Amino acid sequence: MLAGLIEADLGVAFADLGDEMVYRIVSTEVDVEAGTVTESWDDRDVVGLVGTVRDEGIEKAAEQTRGAKLQVLVRSEELPEDCPALTDRVIVRGEEYAIEEFRYMSEGGLFDLAVRRR
């Protein structure tokens, strides 16, 4: 019964508050001899719940570089079986974000993605 309530509430939330976005599956090919790295990608249209944008400094850059961070919830059924991956990205409202971390939320079947604007 609880699972049914959670699914019903999520259905309403995604229908009313969900944002259309692109989930970008990124593949990288390295040519050692030429010293090049080539990216290719496969874009999937998904609907997600997008949290508030937070603008936080990047510690590795001594707080000199800033990048907006977001939290995005995506239903696992919308993603291919081997996703998400830390090489993948999401495009939200025209901005591309790199996935920094993710976790699976079994109740609701959601992936919680922590992403940073590239």
Higher pLDDT, 3 or 53: 53
Give Cβ neighbours of residue 58 (< 8 Å, ≥ 6 apart): 65, 66, 67, 116
Q: Is the dihedral of CA 73, 76, 79, 84 positive or negative?
A: positive
Positions of E strands within 1-118:
19-31, 36-50, 54-57, 66-75, 89-92, 95-105, 110-117
Instruction: Write out pLDDT tens, residues 54-101.
Output: 766 555 555 555 578 899 999 999 999 899 999 999 999 899 999 999
DSSP code, position 82: T
Instruction: Write out pLDDT tens, residues 8-48.
Output: 677 888 888 899 999 999 999 999 999 999 999 999 999 99
Please state whether the predicted TM-score (pTM) of the whole model is above 0.75. yes
